[in-house]
Structure 1
Amino acid sequence: MAIQQQGIGVSTADLARIDAHPRVQWMFFQEPELQYEVTVDQPDPHFAKLLQQAIGGQEGEMRVAMQYLFQAWALPEEYEEYRTLLMETAAEELGHIELLATAVTKNLRDSSAAMDDDARETAAAAASMTGQNPRQFLSAGQSAMPVDSNGVPFTGSYIAASGNPAGDLYANVMAEATGRTLATRLWEYTDDPGMKDMLSYLIARDTMHQNQWLQVLETLDDPVPVPASFPQDRENQDFNYTFISTRREAQPDPEYPWTQGETPDGNGQFSYAAEQPGDGTVVASDPAPMTNDDPNRDTQSARSTDSADATDSNE
């Protein structure tokens, strides 16, 4: 399923009107073919489990696909070219999910198909012993799931879509960097030629995507600090470019690039402080009684009452 963006089921006149309107988003359509060939020469249920990290893990393709979509949907008209880039890349990432899901299924089902009938009957029971995630059999019929390698479901909390183009672009570089790191580790782990070939393709695409986001950042005017729209004269000028050491004993300036010299944003000079500003306090006012669960409160109250009663009796 090569997923792309396209207008579908509309007339030529309608397409012309859509093209003339910058905020109309093209819908998706699918083609009955994979984005890249997926072959498995040596089916491995354990590797299928590892591949799940590249689908539903924090470094996975579901993360970047959803991240790019939500970033695109938040952009105003003035960033239409970036919106288009995000949408096209998100569509490609959806295709990557399909590649990996296909690889997981092939590693699971082809390993079972290679067994004789008696062995196949016991395959499900032995799934966890061979390293396979049992739920891939029990819940998904020997196929991929939207989970990571530990079976933890994908979560939207992995997604960075702040509405700030510069901040999101830096997040995209990080996402592609961690995704590429994961793909290279999977490539190193497997000896299967087909899996290495598929992963080499995904690694190459991560290389491209890292570079494209860095290139877009270069087109922005003075993007740092993020957000650049906040007036810097409103931040504390004594600490905005100072590296503050947290060492127990005060140390001299190590003269690193981040403790002296011009800052990358060109707005200041790095400096070094050997200790934190201090003068703060960790003491806070007492909480409301109803929120403070004091285990001795009832006992103390009872003792006070008993003491008062005893005093009254003596009098």
Structure 2
Amino acid sequence: MFGYSKSLFYPVHVQLRDPVFGQVLLEHYGGKDSEYSAASQYLNHRSNMRNRHLRDLLGLIAAEEMGHMEMIAVAINKLGGPPLCYVNSQGIPWNMSYVDQSLDPIAMLQADVEAEVRARILYNQHFTMTNDPGLKKMISFLGSREDVHKHLFQKAQALIQHSAPAEQFNELIVEYKLSLQKL
């Protein structure tokens, strides 16, 4: 299911080294609302989701989150930030409590919506902390992808609540793939 592409999901350009901001970006690498937390949660939810279309959607988004994590790693390295470990900006190690363990499909998707909202808020905060135009573009891109994921998770919740037919769930996959073509 997963594949690796040498190219980044979106280009990472950094004009000047800024190790302090590199440290800040660790929040997106190994913090509570990090790309790693999101990917881990979505893979876990995928494993417990009965609807095959939603399993596919969660897998696609989890893979994308891993691509975002790779972008963050490249940015941290270009900024001259600290060595990459699964820690937040304060050096606190990542832990499993960051991953929702719900089993109910609606609860899982709600936790996924909330994860996307928190990640977007964090990107918005960090956007204001840099003047580097390349980093601003990357952060803006990542925030916009969080919005796409949130929208799809909310639609999936509504489809479950309305007992929608399978073909409507498949439209989520189509919508996700179309969102990638706009990049």
Q: Which segments of structure 1 move beyond 4 Å, counting only runs of 4 or more?
A: none
Is structure 2 residue 107 aligned with structure 1 residue 167?
Answer: yes
Q: 2:128 aligns with which of 188, 191, 208?
A: 188
Partner of 1:104: 76
Q: 2:40 aligns with which of 33, 44, 66?
A: 66
Higher helix content, 1 or 2: 2
List alignment gaps of at least 5 residues for structure 2.
Answer: 164-183
Which has the higher relative contact order, 1 or 2, with Cα contacts under 8 A spaced 6 or more apart?
2
Distance 2:42 2:139 in 1: 21
Partner of 1:226: none
Larger radius of gyration: 1
Q: 1:56 aligns with which of 30, 42, 45?
A: 30
Aligned-CA RMSD value:
1.3
How many Å apart are 1:222 and its aligned residue? 6.1
How many Å apart are 1:54 and its aligned residue? 1.0
Distance 1:222 1:161 in 2: 24
Secondary structure of 1:29's counterpart equals coil
Report the identity percentage. Answer: 33
How many Å apart are 1:154 and its aligned residue? 1.1
How many Å apart are 1:185 and its aligned residue? 0.5
Distance 1:169 1:75 in 2: 10
How many Å apart are 1:59 and its aligned residue? 1.1
1:103-158, CA deviations, whole angstroms, 9 ceiling, x for partnerless residues? 000000xxxxxxxxxxxxxxxxxxxxxxx6xxx3xxx3xxx222100111111110
Q: How many residues align?
A: 163
Is structure 2 residue 7 aligned with structure 1 residue 33?
Answer: yes
Is structure 2 residue 25 aligned with structure 1 residue 85?
Answer: no
1:253-301, CA deviations, whole angstroms, 9 ceiling, x for partnerless residues? xxxxxxxxxxxxxxxxxxxxxxxxxxxxxxxxxxxxxxxxxxxxxxxxx
1:48-87, CA deviations, whole angstroms, 9 ceiling, x for partnerless residues? 00000011111111110000000001123xx000000000
Distance 1:68 1:80 in 2: 14
Map 1:140-151 → 2, pairs under 5 A: 140=83, 144-151=84-91
TM-score by length of 1: 0.50
Distance 1:29 1:89 in 2: 13
Secondary structure of 1:160's counterpart equals coil
Higher strand content, 1 or 2: 1
List alignment gaps of at least 5 residues for structure 1.
Answer: 1-25, 109-131, 224-315
Distance 2:13 2:141 in 1: 13
How many Å apart are 1:42 and its aligned residue? 1.7
